[in-house]
């Protein structure tokens, strides 16, 4: 049991150190490395997003704890290797936030949000002097593809590489759909189809950006809707003693429309 005199954060750090203790710690925790923890970190971040989407605030508290534990885990490994520790992580983010918000913590003033964003990028660039800074630098490759597409588009938009309205974006989507139709009709190889489909999805991400919609959240919502409606189809078929494999597409389509109508 953690020392009750410790602060919650210090107690968490103590628990993590005990788990990693080379003599009496947990075998699984001792085996972990930076890279092996990454999938768990990504999963915990998505579970935070899921709790928020469901507005389950009790679950959100628990999921935020799980996500914080991931940060503590990385910091403990780094501490063991003499690189840095949790306090260094916390100190670094405090300094960064103060440095990047001179309009809050100093006397800088910006007339518009666009000016503030431009200043943020200048400050970021100044933090790494001597490094080449392309417009699209700094976007992690490991991001979900649609999220990364939006970030690429936002960065390009800051230097004027963007349409100023939704209509050209819609036209671009239609153009890309026409191109993939052509490839399908031409019996194009899978790599060509993948390339054209990627263009369609990239254009759709651009539309989401112009509509100020998170494309990942939009697809998650559609996934949930599909799952909800399909489960109703399964339930209705089960009432008849059947499964989806024992019904026809026409029957399932009719039940799908019934589920849609019930939701309205």
Domain boundaries of the chain, sorted by first residue: 8-98, 134-213, 217-263
pLDDT one-digit tens code per residue, 106-147: 988 988 888 888 888 788 878 877 666 788 888 888 889 999
pTM: 0.69
Q: Cα–Cα distance between 173 and 201 in angstroms, integer?
A: 8
Q: Cα–Cα distance between 179 and 126 in angstroms, integer?
A: 43
Domain 8-98 has CATH 3.30.300.160: no
Q: Cα–Cα distance between 124 and 88 in angstroms, integer?
A: 19
Q: Cα–Cα distance between 243 and 237 in angstroms, integer?
A: 6
CB atoms within 10 A of CB 199: 17
Residue 195 in contact with residue 174, Cβ under 8 Å? no
Q: Cα–Cα distance between 6 and 230 in angstroms, integer?
A: 50
What is residue 2's predicted lDDT score, i.e. its pLDDT? 63
- In CATH, the architecture of 134-213 is Orthogonal Bundle (1.10)
Same fold, 8-98 and 134-213: yes
pLDDT per residue as tens, the chain (264 positions): 667 788 999 999 999 999 999 999 999 999 999 999 999 999 999 899 889 988 999 999 999 999 999 999 999 999 999 999 999 999 999 999 999 999 999 988 988 888 888 888 788 878 877 666 788 888 888 889 999 999 999 999 988 999 989 999 999 999 999 999 999 999 999 999 999 999 999 999 999 999 999 999 899 889 999 999 999 999 999 999 999 999 999 999 999 999 999 988
What is residue 1's predicted lDDT score, i.e. its pLDDT? 62
Structure tokens at 1: 């049991």
């Amino acid at each position: 049991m953690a020392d009750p005199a410790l602060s919650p954060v210090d107690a968490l750090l103590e628990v993590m150190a005990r788990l990693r203790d080379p003599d009496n710690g947990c075998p699984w925790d001792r085996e972990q490395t930076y890279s092996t923890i990454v999938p768990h970190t990504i999963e915990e971040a998505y579970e935070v997003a899921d709790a928020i989407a469901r507005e389950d605030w009790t679950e959100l508290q628990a999921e935020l704890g799980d996500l914080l534990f991931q940060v503590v885990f990385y910091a403990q490994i780094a501490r063991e290797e003499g690189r840095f520790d949790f306090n260094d992580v916390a100190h670094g983010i405090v300094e960064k936030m103060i440095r990047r918000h001179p309009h809050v913590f100093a006397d800088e003033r910006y007339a518009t949000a666009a000016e503030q964003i431009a200043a943020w990028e200048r400050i970021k660039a100044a933090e790494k002097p001597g490094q080449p800074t392309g417009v699209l630098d700094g976007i992690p490759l490991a991001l979900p593809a649609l999220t990364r597409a939006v970030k690429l588009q936002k960065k390009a938009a800051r230097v004027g590489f963007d349409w100023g309205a939704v209509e050209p974006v819609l036209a671009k989507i239609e153009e890309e759909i026409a191109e993939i139709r052509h490839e399908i009709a031409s019996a194009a190889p899978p790599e060509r189809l993948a390339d054209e489909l990627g263009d369609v999805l990239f254009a759709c991400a651009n539309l989401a950006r112009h509509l100020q919609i998170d494309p990942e959240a939009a697809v998650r919502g559609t996934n949930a809707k599909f799952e909800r409606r399909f489960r109703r189809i399964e339930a209705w078929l089960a009432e008849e003693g059947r499964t989806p494999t024992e019904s026809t597409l026409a029957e399932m389509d009719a039940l799908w429309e019934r589920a849609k109508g019930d939701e309205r």
